[in-house]
Amino acid sequence: MWPPIRRSHAQFQSKIRVSFKFNNKGFSLAELIVAAAIITTMLVAVVQAFGISETLQNQQIPMVKAQLLAEENLEVLRLIRNTGWGNLSSLPLNTKEYLYFSGSAWSVTTTPEIIDGIFYRSFTVSSVERDSSSDIVSSGGTLDPNTLFASSTVSWLSSNATSSVSYGDYFMNY
């Protein structure tokens, strides 16, 4: 067996220092250019993401407002029905009508109203038919004089095309 090699503590530390010696002269120009390019790319991506988000949000504002206006149409028709069934049932069937608010009361008119210079809001009232089981059917049933179907539509010009939202609901004489 060979005798163990004995080294002094100073020789051992010297050997370690030599083998783990680093060159700490700083970043080279190439590394700085790569880091600047990465940071610039990230900043451009973040700015574009915010821009896209704002554009999408601005496109959704008219859609949400149109939905609220269409729902308001149906609520006003409920109000008209609640003041008396004859007020709703006397409206002409399958004819485009419009609502007008005259300061303190709603009224039905045949003149279109432009809301906020963008939105056209209308509604139609149609009759309802029921089968022998009193289920609502699209055709072939018996006319139900105590039920009407109202369809509310709001349309507006969006990106050189007409967009619209429609809601419908049944109204009953109770």
Give Dmax (Cα) for the chain: 118
Is 9 part of a structural domain of the chain?
no
Comparing CA positions, the residue from 120, 123, 115, 118 lying closest to residue 159 is 118
* Total domain count, the chain: 1
Is 14 part of a structural domain of the chain?
no
The secondary structure of 69-81 as a DSSP string is HHHHHHHHHHHHH
Mean pLDDT of 31-49: 92
Is 104 part of a structural domain of the chain?
yes
**More confident: 143 or 16:** 143
The CA-atom distances, in angstroms, between 122 and each of 49, 111, 141 are 38, 10, 27
**More confident: 174 or 146:** 146
Is 22 part of a structural domain of the chain?
no
Structural domain boundaries enclosing 51? 30-172
Report d(CA 81, CA 22) in Å as an integer: 87
pTM: 0.67
Is 42 part of a structural domain of the chain?
yes
> What tens digit of pLDDT does each residue of 65-81 get?
999 999 999 999 999 99
Is 156 part of a structural domain of the chain?
yes
Q: Give the model's pLDDT for residue 166.
A: 96
Tell the residue number behind the tokens 């507006």, with chain if given: 156
Cβ-proximal residues to 161 (8 Å cutoff; 6+ apart), any chain? none
Q: Which two tokens stand for residue 79?
A: 């109000």
Categorize the per-residue pLDDT at 10 as very low, low, confident or very high, splitting at 50, 70 and 90: low
Is 146 part of a structural domain of the chain?
yes
The 3-state DSSP class for residue 111 equals coil
**Which H or E run contains 171?**
strand 161-172
Is 61 part of a structural domain of the chain?
yes
The secondary structure of 94-139 as a DSSP string is T--BEEEE-SS-EEEESS--EETTTEEEEEEEEEEEE-TTS-EESS
> What tens digit of pLDDT does each residue of 102-151 get?
888 898 999 998 899 999 999 999 999 999 998 999 888 999 999 999 99
